[in-house]
Structures are given as C-alpha cells and as structure tokens.
A and B are shown apart, each in its own frame.
Chain A
C-alpha cells in the first residue's frame, strides 16, 4: 500500500482519496476506519455538550430509558436511543451484547463463559460486560466480516 501525504493550504478540511484496482476487504476496512473517524456523536456531561468521536466509544448502555456513552475513562449521556444507535453504527463495528448494551467490537479483548449460561466480555480497558447467548452469533459474524476501526 502506498501512502501519500500532501499539504494543500487551500483546503479547509482533510480530503482522502483511495485508489484501488478491485474492492477488497482491506479497502472496505480503510473506508470503515475513516468513516468512524469522521462520525461523531453528540454527548452531554455536566450540563455541557460535547462531540465524541465514535472510535473512542467503548459501549453504549441504556439504563432507565437513558442512554449512556462509555469511553475508556469517561461516561457521557446521549439523547439517541439504543436501537437507533444499533442501526446507525452497525457498519462501524458496533454490535448488541445484551438487551441494554451495544459494544464496539474493536475494543473487545476476550470473552469467557460464565456458569449461568451467560458470557463475560473483557474490554481493552479491563472493564467487563455480560453478553447473552442470543447476541453471540452477531459478535462472531461482525468479527468475521472484519470491520475494524
């Protein structure tokens, strides 16, 4: 892969052009990475709004009809509904882990079975989440499709 960087003072924003002979998984992956970098979500913390880059999000959780955004060290709130986020962010590697949680598979470190027919996911920051069997197949498929941020 050839990477060329070119400074153009007339540009206000970063422009990325990907040239390829055939559409491959690698091209799709690069596109996903760029899309994720360019996708932001409006969050709220301490009465102030902030736009968070989607690739920084570890998982979304719905508690009492409120949606929380969990990053590596911080937690925010968002007005978006969980089902809406699941639909919008599926192509960026976000999969349902249980009824109330959408996980970024790119921060998933490992999964282990628990005794109560559930699974425990360990994230890259050491945090643990439970996964229900129903969604295990979605996680495997997402990993096999290989969308990586």
Chain B
C-alpha cells in the first residue's frame, strides 16, 4: 500500500513538472487546480490498474511492458475525452508525455529494486554466516 501511494505521488509529481515544462514552452503562465486533480486521478487509476496487469506474467518481458503501456494509454485517452484535454493538448503530445514519465518511473523502480536486493543479500549473508 505504502509503495502504491509513493508511486502515485511520484508519478503525479513528474506529470505536473512535465505539464509545467510543456506549458512554459508554449507560453502558458499557470496550471489549473483542476488539472492537478485530474492528473492525480489518472495516476491513481493507472497505478491501481497495474495491480491487475501485473497479475499477468509472461516469459516475455516485452509483452508485460506492452500491456502496462497499452493500459495506461487507454486510461489517458479516456481521461482526455472526459476532461477535454485534447482541446489544449494533442493526443501525440499526451502519449510522448506518458512515455517520458514511464521511462522516469522505470528508473526510479530500478533504484528501488536495487535497494531491496541489497537488503536481501545482506540478510542472506547473515544467515549464511550463522549456518557456517
């Protein structure tokens, strides 16, 4: 649960920074409060959906990744239609934004997994020392 909340908050944070960068380049001056909540809602739905998509396990990692990406894009396009995002942001821009966020998320995950592996290896070393 804690990890999911951290993931939602970090991806929402990255989304808002990305939005601010794109907005700054296109001459915008501010982000609407509604955009912040809409981004949060989209990230919550995406992260919760990952609970289901990650139940699917394949020996091909590419297939799992494609499922994650496909699902997230469907959510984003649906949100785009519901909240009229496409009046100000074209679909391709939304997809590029998502891919950038996804890649950043992957890097964050790599660091988190490495930390977890280090903890496991330390625990294993302690056990092996005790066993010997």
Contact = CB atoms under 8 A, between A and B. Distances in A.
B8 to A, nearest CB: 17
A69 B117 CA distance: 26
B113 A98 contact: no
Give the interface SS of chain A, mostly helix, strand, loop or mixed: mixed
Given A116-B61, A134-B54, A148 B119 contact: no
Given A99-B57, A148-B131, A143 B117 contact: no
Contacts of B9: none
Nearest to A148: B127
Interface residues of A, number: 24
Interface footprint category on B:
10 to 19
Nearest to A137: B116
Contacts of B114: 113
Given A132-B57, A136-B117, A113 B110 contact: yes
Give the interface SS of chain B, mostly helix, strand, loop or mixed: helix
A22 interface: no
Contact of B113 (A109, A136, A143): A136
A117 B117 contact: no
B100 interface: no
A136 B120 contact: yes
A93 to B, nearest CB: 10
A144 B54 contact: no
Given A132-B57, A140-B123, A144-B123, A111 B117 contact: yes
B120 A139 contact: yes
A108 B119 contact: no
Contact of A111 (B54, B109, B121, B127): B121
Interface of B: 54, 57, 61, 106, 109-110, 113-114, 116-117, 119-121, 123-124, 127-128, 130-131
Interface of A: 98-99, 106, 108-113, 116-119, 132-134, 136-137, 139-140, 143-144, 146, 148
Given A98-B57, A140-B119, 6 more contacts: A110-B124, A117-B61, A118-B61, A144-B123, A146-B127, A148-B131
